[in-house]
Structure formats: C-alpha cells, structure tokens
Amino acid sequence: MGAAAGAGASLAGSPTAAYAAPDQNDQGPDNFNEATIAQLQAAMANRQTSAVELTNFYLNRIQAIDERGPHLNSVIELNPDALAMAQAADASRRRGRVLGPLHGIPVLLKDNIDTGDKMQTSAGSFALVGQPAVRDSTVAAKLRAGGAVILGKANLSEWANFRSFGSSSGWSGRGGQCNNPYAIDRNPCGSSSGSGAAVSANLCAVALATETDGSIVCPAHMSGVVGIKPTVGVTSRAGVVPISHTQDTIGPHARTVADAAAVLTVIASQTFDGRDPVRQA
C-alpha cells in the first residue's frame, strides 16, 4: 500500500476559523473541534450554535485544510445543498421537531454511496462522473429522514481498492491521494481513507464508510478514530457501489464510541429492504 510523499504534520484538532465558543457551564463544546454529537446537540438545543453555523464551520475547515494548506485531500466533493439542509434542520428544531440524534449534524459519505442529489457517486473514478445517482441509497435516505446534513463525499481508494491488489491506499483518479491527518507522509489505509481522515481532522462530525475486507477498521486505526464494521445485513447496501454481496457493509467513522453508535442507530435497517439481497432473506 502506498502513501503520498510530503512534509509530516499534525492536523487533527488545529482550529482554522473563529467561532463563538458556547458556555462550558451548559456542556456545549468550547470549540467545534473534537466536539461529540451529544455536545453539539446540547449546544444547538441551548441556541449556542445552529446547524448552519456547524456546517459553515466544517466547510471553512475543509477549505483551509483539505483544499489549501497541507492538502489532506479527504473530501472529493461538497454538497451544494448542504447549507439548505442545515437551514431546514434549524427550522424544524425551532418548531420543536428534532428527528433524531443526528439532527443538524454534518456528515460526510464515502464516494461509493449514492445520493440522489446534485453530487456525483463515482467510487473515485472518472468512469462514473456525469452519471449521478437517480435516488438515495438506503443509508443516505435514513440520514435525510433523521435530519442530518449531508456535507459532501469523502475520497477513497478508487473502486474501494478493487482496482488492483497493488493499488495505493487512499488514491483515486478523481480525488488524488488522501493523506494521513497525523503525518502527511504516512499511509491513511483504505479504502475508506477520506472518511477516517476527515473525522480525525475535524472536517465533519461523523462520516459513513464501507467495508468488504478491512476498509472501515483499518482507516479508523490509522487516523485514530472509531470505526464500527457491522455484521452484513445490519445496514442496507442498496445504492452502494458493490464489490461482494456476501461481505460488503456500511458503518460509521466517528471520534467516540457513543458517536459511532448514534450513527449506527440511524442507518441500521430494522425492516427488510427489497433493494438489498441480504435484507430479503
């Protein structure tokens, strides 16, 4: 597995934008960096911040760290509707409707997970650019139904590392080389490289990853975050670029076990999904 050359640097936790710090006495985060879902929800409930402010914070941080600066290259595409989703989440909260633990929380999705919107789902390959998904994957639909803000798509090992046994971890033709947030010259592992790196570098609150053989747990290990690889069938694979129907699964990357569990609670399928062969059994 290869990694991009570059100057070693630590990116995790370094602030890039000035935002009003919520009151610690109300258990809100002193900074959105390293904030847990529970802290972010408390801050939004207490009107110390909003989904729009959170989304802008992460968008600014992506621009500063991912697109400029050290060029982490963990985000392959931003959702042009992210702020509109955040505004809708805030409006729903003002009406007293909070749709779940991810309400108003910005989430990145690995770029092999369909979203029926203006974004591409390319698996990191130019071969799929220009053919956007016509509908959401089941997990993306569950995120929307739960009030989450879909921030964008995360870089990955092209075709989820199914391109070649000798392919470079975290490299895709469309996204370039995703780098390790703790040391730019180190391997980020894959294939969910961008999901793990983005969570570690505080470019999103949480992210969705996929695994056929190590692609959730290995990037989580290399980026110092929590990854949960669910049993096949716990999360529907409908609308996810497939590798193996007997091994593919979708799971979270998060900074804490509680955050990862919250994501899994939202995306897990409680009923059979006719679009996923395993969920029909």
Active site residues: 110, 191, 215
Q: How far apart are CA 85 and CA 148, in angstroms?
A: 8
Contact between 124 and 175 (Cβ < 8 Å): yes
**Burial category of 68 from C-beta neighbours within 10 Å (exposed 0-12, middle 13-18, buried 19 and up):** exposed
Q: How far apart are CA 155 and CA 176, in angstroms?
A: 8
Sign for the CA dihedral angle at 192, 135, 121, 280 comes to positive
CA 130 to chain centre: 22
**Nearest Cα to 140, choosing from 113, 176, 174, 167?**
113
Which residues 6+ apart lie within 8 Å of 166 measured at CB? none
